[in-house]
Amino acid sequence: MWQPHYADFVRSPVQAERPRYLAECFKRHRSNLTHIRYFRGDRRAESFLCVLRFIMWISDKSAPRNGSSGARRRILHAALYCTGDMAEFRKFMEKMPFPLQLVEWSLRGVARVILANNPLTGALILCALGVASPWQALLGTLGLLCSTLTAIIIGQDSAEVAGGLHGFNGMLVSLLIGVFSSAGDWYWWLLLPACLAAATCTFVFSGLSPLLDRWDLPVSVFPFNTVILLYLSCTGPSNPYFPHHPAIPPGAPLHTNHSLNIAQLLQGVPLGVGQIYACGSLWPSVLILAAVFLFSPLLCAHALLGSGIGTLAGLSVAVRPASLYSGLSGFNGALGCMCVGGLFFTFSWRTHFFAIACAFLSAYVDIALSNILGTVGLPACSWAATLIATLMLLLTAQNLASYRIPIGRVTTPEKNLRTHSHWAGGNTDSTDV
pLDDT at 319 exceeding the cut of 90: yes
Q: DSSP assignment, residue 345?
A: B
Most confident of 2-11, 53-62, 81-90: 81-90
Percent of the chain at pLDDT exceeding 70: 78
Which pLDDT belongs to residue 419?
A: 73
Q: How would residue 52 be classed by pLDDT, with cut points 50, 70 and 90?
A: low
The H-or-E segment that residue 32 falls in is none
Which pLDDT belongs to residue 193?
A: 96
Better-predicted residue by pLDDT, 368 or 343: 368
pLDDT at 132 exceeding the cut of 50: yes
pLDDT 10s digits, 120-130: 999 999 999 99
pLDDT 10s digits, 208-224: 999 999 999 999 999 99
**Helices H / strands E in the chain, number of each:** 21, 0
Which pLDDT belongs to residue 200?
A: 97
Query: What's the number of CA atoms in the CB half-sphere (13 Å) around residue 275?
Result: 26
pLDDT 10s digits, 92-112: 888 899 999 999 999 999 999
Which pLDDT belongs to residue 89?
A: 87
Percent of the chain at pLDDT exceeding 90: 62
Which pLDDT belongs to residue 26?
A: 52
Better-predicted residue by pLDDT, 6 or 101: 101
Interacting residues of 202 by C-beta distance below 8 A, sequence separation 6+: 147, 150, 151, 154, 156, 166, 169, 170, 223
The dotted CATH code for 87-422 is: 1.10.3430.10
**What three-state secondary structure class fits 261?**
coil
Interacting residues of 257 by C-beta distance below 8 A, sequence separation 6+: none
Q: For the chain, what are the domain ranges?
A: 6-65, 87-422
CA angle at 422 for the pair 417 and 425, rounded to the nearest 5°:
120
Q: Do 111 and 171 contact (CB within 8 A), yes or no?
A: no
Mean pLDDT of the chain, nearest integer: 84
